[in-house]
Amino acid sequence: MADNKQIIELYTKLAQNPTKDFGWDKGLDNAKAHGYKQEWIDATPPEVWEYCAAVGNPFTYADIQEGDTVLDLGCGAGVDLMVSRLHVGKSGRVIGVDITPKMVETAQEHAKLAGFTNVEILENSFEAIALEDESVDVVISNGAINLTACKESVFTEIYRVLKPKGKISFADMIDISKEAECCNIEQNSCCASAGEEDWANCVAGTMRESELIELIQKASFENVTCTGMTHYTTSETTQGATFFATKIPAEKFRNSHWENIFQTKDYTQVLWHQNSPKKSLDFIRSFAKTDATIIDAGCGASLIVDNLLELGYKDITLLDTASTSLELVKKRINNLHVKYVCDDILTFETQKKFDIWHDRAVFHFLLSKKERQRYFEVLSNSLKENATAIIATFKVNGEIQCAGLDIIAYDYKKMLEELPKSLELIESEEYTHITPKESEQKYIYFIIKKRSQ
């Protein structure tokens, strides 16, 4: 978070003295002005509402169901935690995250006072939340995200913890000034020299509505909407607003991203393109005769299939999420024996078993543990016993992004930690790829065997 020390000091004061005038609306009247229902107010301890500095009402569009898991970022003293608990009931789970120790302590006291045993509060950064991947149904927040320095990281983390098609519904301050001089979307760091008053008034971290929506969309959310403005204001240039978005399922995002790449770019000029995929071919020839069944997973428009055909291999399956890339290859090779499968690598199913699984650069795009586990399930189910997987990724201490996406780089030890018991890491070999722009990229190849049952 931006200027954590000032923020923690400010909100420690609020936790210790909720009735003090900080220059913004607070308390029960503020909650009612935002449309907090009387039934919520009646069902929670009255002292909780003294702390209500809500910017808006995140519950209007959140559609929280009984049994859901709700995460509240910047939960403060726990007002929205209590309301969330009323929505999810005894069968659900509510988790609060805050960076101010005194607020965490106060929220815990309020949950205990209310008798809510399924409310948990974590003292935690928004950018590294101590929760499992895809473990949350709804993320809410109320006036806290604008205080973070790297909002991209926050929304990336929200995406990670949300279940497929999960929702985020939040209220925050936005910049309504004619000239947004303080902050822009490229900086992702607003007013580093801002004073305590700017932080207290939630001015220093604000973005314009359009900028915030664009940022959320770039974090792989859809249906991103500013659902309304609120009465809340902390300065002449800020006003409260509410936002809603849904998580784009990972497979849908991958499809859209790679379709766009192959529709808008010359595939022979992208940095990962190889005019001669010699390293992959050498490995394939080492482990497979020409009658072997081969699948190139995440093939893109790679020239590897052209080369395999020239070497006499005939039983080749090309798997990719982008139909455009497969069409490019079809037109290029015009070979009726090659099978084309347009599917996401994590949902791919096959009755056919392969001797070789080749993946030059898909695995390193899988950022969540759950995705990587699913990848190896698909791989293992697709291979014959004692068959071979050849996987190439970016090497540790090399690239951190590719094609505009974050990646995870690997070395031997790191890959070994990922493999299930059904697979055995045989060897690895480092490789330097010279891009079409004559730059270097550090890769590492892994040879993996499927164990005999």
- The per-residue pLDDT for range 249-272, each reduced to its tens digit, is 989 999 999 999 999 999 999 999
What CA–CA distance (Å, rounded) separates 205 from 148? Answer: 7
The whole-angstrom separation of Cα 47 and Cα 50 is 6
3-state percent breakdown (helix, strand, coil) of the chain, nearest 5:
35, 25, 40
In one-letter notation, the amino acid at residue 142 is N
* Domain termination site, one of 248, 273, 300: 248
Q: Specify the DSSP element, H or E, that contains 388.
A: strand 383-394
Q: Are residues 337 and 222 in the same domain?
A: no
Same domain, 231 and 345: no
CB 175 within 8 A of CB 146: no
| CATH code for the domain of 97 | 3.40.50.150
| Whether residue 243 sits in one domain with residue 258 | no
For 381-395, the pLDDT digits (tens) are 999 999 999 999 999
Same domain, 241 and 263: no
Q: Tell me, rounded to whole angstroms, the distance of Cα 384 from its chain centroid.
A: 33
Distance from CA of residue 296 to its chain's centroid? 26
Q: What is the pLDDT of residue 13?
A: 74
- Establish how many alpha carbons lie within 13 A of residue 408's alpha carbon, considering only the half-sphere containing its beta carbon: 15
Burial of 328 by CB count in 10 Å (0-12 exposed, 13-18 middle, 19+ buried)?
middle
**What is the tally of structural domains in the chain?**
2
Mean of the per-residue pLDDT values of the chain: 90
Q: Give the chain's largest Cα–Cα span.
A: 80
- The residue among 248, 276, 299 that closes a domain is 248
Please report the pLDDT score of residue 25 as a whole number: 72
Question: In whole angstroms, what is the distance from residue 165 CA to residue 154 CA?
Answer: 18
- Give the type of residue at 34: H
Instruction: Give the end of a domain, one of 248, 263, 282.
Output: 248
Same domain, yes or no: 155 and 174: yes
270 and 169 in a common domain: no
370, 439: one domain:
yes
Token duo for residue 282: 């050498």
Return the pLDDT at 189. 36
101 plus 69 within the same structural domain:
yes
**pTM of the predicted model as reported, rounded to 2 decimal places:** 0.80
What are the backbone dihedrals phi and psi of residue 124, each rounded to the nearest 5 degrees, phi first?
-155, 150
For residue 178, give its domain range.
4-248
Cβ atoms 104, 122 nearer than 8 A: yes
Contact predicate 73/140, CB 8 Å: yes
Higher pLDDT among residues 200 and 225, named by residue: 225
Q: Do 244 and 260 share a structural domain?
A: no
173 membership: H or E segment, kind and range:
strand 162-175
pLDDT value at 441 more than 70:
yes
Instruction: State both tokens at 151.
Output: 């909002």
Q: What is the DSSP letter of 408?
A: -
Q: Does the pLDDT of residue 44 top 70, yes or no?
A: yes
Helical H segments across 170-208, by residue range = 196-200
Instruction: Quote the pLDDT of residue 212.
Output: 96
Inter-residue contact 385 to 452 (CB < 8 Å) = yes
Do 218 and 363 fall within a single domain?
Answer: no
**Shared-domain flag, residues 366 and 217:** no
Sign, CA torsion 87/92/97/101 = positive
Do 317 and 168 have their domain in common? no
State pLDDT tens for residues 68-95: 999 999 999 999 999 999 999 999 999 9
